[in-house]
Structure 1
Amino acid sequence: MTISPPKILKIVKNRLEGCRLHQRRALSVPVRQFDPGNQIQRPVMGSSLVFSQLHLQTRQQSVHICQDSSTRTLSTPSPGLILPSNNGHETNSSSSSSAPAETVAVIHPQPSTHTRSRQSKTHHYAPIDLLPDHTLLQIFSHLSTNQLCRCARVCRRWYNLAWDPRLWSTIQLTGELLHADRAIRVLTHRLCQDTPNICLTLETVVVNGCKRLTDRGLHVVAQCCPELRRLEVAGCYNISNEAVFEVVSRCPNLEHLNLSGCSKVTCISLTQEASLQLSPLHGQQISIHYLDMTDCFSLEDEGLRTIASHCPRLTHLYLRRCTRLTDEALRHLALHCPSVRELSLSDCRLVGDFGLREVARLEGCLRYLSVAHCTRITDVGMRYVARYCPRLRYLNARGCEGLTDHGLSHLARSCPRLKSLDVGKCPLVSDSGLEQLAMYCQGLRRVSLRACESVTGRGLKALAANCCELQLLNVQDCEVSPEALRFVRRHCRRCVIEHTNPAFY
């Protein structure tokens, strides 16, 4: 014989009502137990626990019956089922399907405890909860992305404050094992709730060192962040040209791009679709000002030519260890990017004097130049830089073994505003070149002469006597006497001397 579901529910309710009646009697009339030794009847203190277990057994049976009849019960009941009613009686019949622990709370009411807890929730707060919203927002503005996500899990108020759009102008993610694609997708999806599919406040995305970032993550950034101004993906070697093209095409305000270590990137350009949408007057220009392509080993002359033609507003360009670049690439750079202020060609060993002649065409704009370990550079190339770049402030020529005192003299006479100079591991630089520097570049603050075998105390004394603003002097692996180092310390009290002479202290 089969029983219909309504009849099953009626049977369950009748059983639970009968159990509730027994519990009521247990609370009002204590159960007596006969003691044959003392001939005394004593009340059983745990009688209510017996009926709690009986209620638990009855509930398990009801759940089994409901599952057989394809009927579901709620697993998270209302908090009202836990608290007793005001008149001391039990709740209505709808509470019969509550959890066992909640039923025990109904069987063992503690009005005083519940009253105190209710008052404490009303009148007592944590000190930080007393702060107004604008103060908490100011505090949250100093937290990182990961910390903001944790704060959003504290309570409903913090959740609303932590996801305030004003706090999300920057997303910063780190970690080699982080699933960066998924993290970017989840964050942008949450930030797009108020403005569907667009994050109008997000301007900076930094995911340096996230090796699991792929083109899919950058595709989400390109689709959802049209106001992006800064993107850093250093060390994300899974990024390819297609993803970079899409970002620069869909984010017209992008100014800062760090692709160092992205070995698959060979150039930067607009997508074909974006190029067709541009007017002939506008051209195919990208508004990037800062570009770091350090360790992009696949970058060649043709790729740099494409970058220069599409990014004419470049002011900072770093091409360290792009070993395939030659002098021809620098010709296109000087032709299309006349506003470059900082240029790094360190360890580009195919760059020589002809390349420096092209760099010198940047003329008055160039302030920072690094040609460290470019072994093909000699005094000829340095003479071009000295003649056409009089506003040069920083020069790194470490390891340029063809540089001599003659080239250093041209540099000192033509660039009197020089502040920092590194000619370490240049064995042909001697005291004569240092004397010329001391005479014409008296504003020098940082000088590195590491492993310059021809430098002695005479050149150091000339520097110390004329360059009173000297702050750092590196003479490691140089044959200088302790007396010369003491002379430098006396005349340049703020100078930090890096040396390998054990006799000087």
Structure 2
Amino acid sequence: IGHLPDKIILEIFKYLRLADLCRFATVCRKWRTLAYDSRLWSRVSLRPEYNGLHVTNQDAVISVINYRSGSSLRYIELSADFITPVVLHELANKCNNLKYLTLDFSNAMQLHDFNDMNSFPCNLRTLTICLSEVIFMEGFMRKVYQHLSSLEVLHLIGTFELGDEEQEEIYEVINIGKIKAQTPNLKVINLYGISFVDDTHIEMLSSNCIHLDTLALNFCLRVKGSALKTLIQRCKKLKTLLLQHCGLEDQHMMAVEWQVSKIRELDLTSTELSNDCLMDVLIRIPGFTFLGLGYCEFFDDQILETMVEAGKLDHIRAIDISHTVNLSENAIHRFIMRKGRQIEGLMIVGKPKLAEQFFLNVIPLMKKMKIIVCGTPNGWFLRMGTRIHIDQIIIALSQHCSKLERLEVQWDPDTIRASDNSSKFIDQLRLKCPQLRCVTLSDGEYYEMVKSNFERADRKTVVRTTTNYSTSLVPLLSCYKDLLFN
């Protein structure tokens, strides 16, 4: 390997984690020089819990910024311990090409003193702030506001997953109103799981962000929808609206002038909208490329048929109709027979009557399929009366869905029926779907068989378990890369 040109070794090193590069730097002087080449340090994460570097002190962070990354740095994640005036000053003065910055305050108990901070990176395209439940950010943000005019993507990540339902007081730990006044160029706003966000904040954002084309409010329970009418009127470019598990109310949704909007991607998963409201809203929106309706219990055959007849799904690419109890299997079958050839993503979980024969009938129609989530997870009320011959479904996918990237099968080991030839069919799937990046299965004997098959082919990270992973259709959103965080 010592005879390889430096540029070849650098190309190899690009595939390694930064922690590995630090170890390789101890091999010899040549490898040290190559491992610390600034081109390999353009993306730096200093959050060890997210597979980042474990750094013990501020001086080490300064060393990384000055001597390894420098002007090549484009992306950096900082944990609360290293969000200090000194570090931010170095980033502002030494890293002119920094475009993506993540500030993680989620586990912090108190902030550093920012009274003396007089500089902050000012050419950012994307800013991600992971909020704390108890730390008020105003003292820090007061020094930051004037540097945010270049922002196009803003992520504010709340503590929904760590929250306590019995918590009495909810604190507004960051002033969204002041942020919007300084960010006229925002195109993508993602407010994820923030307990204090409500419709007043959405109205404030709509007043200044006229270029907004994507708004994600997933798991913001206090958003009722009263500001959506103003949002649609002011933000004429808005095409993606993600409202998963919001507290939406019928009267507010029906008051919006959806017919004049440019909404093409809509997620209403886990909302409690009525049948009349869903019919009113979905029929007035001009058309969909992405539609999430998982756990919408009032979405039924009539709404789906009306949407198809009205041409609202003529350009649909991805649809989630999981756990829609009032949507019949026959309606789903008719829909896929008509639109299956254009669908790239389908979630169809929680339908116990959709068994082996259904999938054998529809899979040949879905040539463009990239993501599919199917099956029925454990539960006495959804338990199937027959066992699923999983081999037949796997071989059908390998024969007809060569573009498949993600597959999740939620049937449990008591429902799945495999055979002695299962490994041969898994071979076919692995070979004929070269873009397959993730297979998620329920724990059990079949999972272990598939996992060992892919590991023997040196694809160790492909097969995962539903205990730790879940698949969604979000990679098919037009703004997916801008919505990624953590």
With the shorter chain as reference, the TM-score category is 0.5 to 0.7
Structure 2 residue 189 is the aligned partner of structure 1 residue 317: yes
State yes or no: 1:160 paired with 2:30: no
Partner of 2:21: 148
SS of the residue aligned with 1:192?
helix
Contact 2:323 2:351 in 1 (8 A): yes
Q: Does 1:328 align with 2:200?
A: yes
Q: CA shift at 1:142, angstroms?
A: 3.5
1:185 equivalenced with 2:59 (yes/no): yes
* Equivalence map 1:474-485=2 (5 Å): 474-478=347-351, 480=353
Q: 1:287 aligns with which of 144, 150, 168?
A: 150
- Check 1:388–1:239 CA distance in 2 against 1; reply closer, same or farther (3 A cut): farther
Name the larger-Rg structure: 1
**Pair 216,406 (structure 1): closer, same or farther in 2 beyond 3 Å:** closer
Q: Conserved in 2, the CA contact under 8 Å of 1:314 and 1:337?
A: yes
Counterparts of 2:114 and 2:200, CA distance in 1: 25
Shift of 1:321: 1.4
Q: Is the 8 A contact 1:165 1:191 kept in 2?
A: no
Change (3 A) 1:490 1:413: farther
- In the alignment, does 2:225 pair up with 1:349? no
Deviation by residue 1:74-94 (Cα, 9 ceiling, x = unmatched): xxxxxxxxxxxxxxxxxxxxx
Contact 1:397 1:422 in 2 (8 A): yes
8 Å contact kept, 1:457–1:480 = yes
Q: Higher relative CO (CA 8 A, sep ≥ 6), structure 1 or 2?
A: 2
Q: Does 1:256 pair with 2:126?
A: yes
Equivalent residue for 1:499, pick from 371, 375, 379: 375
Quote the Cα distance in structure 2 between the aligned partners of 1:420 and 1:184: 44
**In the alignment, is the contact (CA less than 8 A) between 1:245 and 1:268 conserved in 2?**
no
Superposed, which structure 2 residues align to 1:55-454 within 5 Å?
Answer: 128-176=1-49, 182=56, 185-189=59-63, 192=66, 199-207=70-78, 213=82, 215=84, 218-219=87-88, 221-222=90-91, 225-227=94-96, 228-234=98-104, 236-238=106-108, 249-260=119-130, 262-263=132-133, 285-296=148-159, 300=172, 303-378=175-250, 380-381=252-253, 384=256, 386-390=258-262, 392-408=263-279, 410-416=281-287, 418-439=288-309, 440=311, 441-454=313-326
- Structure 1 residue 185: deviation in Å? 2.8
Tell me which protein shows more helix as a share of its residues.
Answer: 1
RMSD of aligned C-alpha atoms? 3.8
214 and 413 in structure 1: CA distance in 2 versus 1, 3 angstrom threshold: closer
Secondary structure (helix, strand or coil) at the match of 1:172 reads strand
For 1:452-473, what per-residue CA distance to the aligned partner results, in whole angstroms no more than 9, with x for missing partners?
2211134213412331322443
Q: Which runs of 5+ in 2 are unaligned?
A: 161-169, 377-383, 390-486
- Paired amino acid for 1:204: Y
Q: Deviations over 1:370-413 (max 9, x none)?
A: 212223332641562622422x2321111221242553454245
- TM-aligned CA distance change 1:295 to 1:130, over 3 Å: same
Q: Deviations over 1:115-167 (max 9, x none)?
A: xxxxxxxxxxxxx2222333333333433322222222222222233333333
Aligned residue for 1:354, secondary structure, equals: coil
Tell me the SS of whatever aligns to 2:149.
coil
**Kept after mapping to 2: 8 A contact 1:266/1:296:** no
Q: Partners in 1 of 2:330 and 2:147 — Cα distance?
A: 56
Compute the displacement of 1:249 (Å): 4.5
- When residues 133 and 246 of structure 1 are mapped into structure 2, their CA distance, relative to the original with a 3 A threshold, is farther
User: What is the one-letter code of the residue matched to 1:351?
Assistant: V
The 3-state SS of whatever aligns with 1:308 is helix
Matches of 1:497 and 1:178, distance apart in 2: 30
8 Å contact kept, 1:340–1:362: no
- Taking structure 1 as reference, are residues 415 and 249 closer, same or farther at Cα in structure 2, changes over 3 Å only? farther
Offset from partner CA, 1:434-489 (integer Å, 9 cap, x none): 11222311222322222222111342134123313224433433475657666544
- 1:356 touches 1:384 (CA, 8 Å); kept in 2? yes
From the superposition, tell whether residues 449 and 489 of structure 1 become closer, same or farther in structure 2 (CA, over 3 Å): same
Residues 195-227 of structure 1, C-alpha deviations (whole Å, 9 max, x = no match): xxx9333222135xx575554785465465442
Q: In 2, Cα distance between the equivalents of 1:393 and 1:240? A: 42
Structure 1's 479 and 406: CA in aligned 2 closer, same or farther, altered over 3 A? farther
How far did 1:498 drift?
1.4
| 1:401 maps to amino acid | E
Q: Give the TM-score normalised by structure 1.
A: 0.61
- Residue 142 of structure 1 aligns to a residue whose secondary structure is coil
Rounded to whole Å, the distance in 2 between the matches of 1:451 and 1:414 is 23
Distance in 1 (CA, whole Å) between partners of 2:236 and 2:129 is 28
Contact 1:237 1:263 in 2 (8 A): no
- Asked whether the equivalents of residues 218 and 243 of structure 1 are also in contact (C-alpha less than 8 Å), the reply is no
Q: Tell me the CA shift for residue 328 of structure 1.
A: 1.0
Change (3 A) 1:241 1:188: closer
Instruction: Point out the structure with the larger strand share.
Output: 2
Q: Counterpart of 2:212 in structure 1: which amino acid?
A: V
Q: Residue 184 and residue 320 in structure 1: after superposition, are their counterparts in 2 closer, same or farther (change >3 A)? A: same
Per the alignment, do residues 490 and 186 of structure 1 end up closer, same or farther by CA in structure 2, a change over 3 Å counting?
closer
CA distance in 2: counterparts of 1:288 and 1:244, whole angstroms:
22
TM-superposed CA distance for 1:433, in Å, is 0.7
Q: C-alpha offsets along residues 408-429 of structure 1, whole Å, 9 cap, x if unaligned?
A: 454245332x122121222221
Question: CA–CA distance in 1 between the matches of 2:207 and 2:321?
Answer: 34
- Determine the C-alpha separation between the residues in 2 that align with 1:446 and 1:369: 15
Aligned 8 A contact 2:124 2:150 in 1: yes
User: SS state of the match for residue 312, structure 1?
Assistant: coil
Q: 2:165 maps to what in 1?
A: none
**Contact 2:336–2:362 (Cα < 8 Å) also in 1:** yes
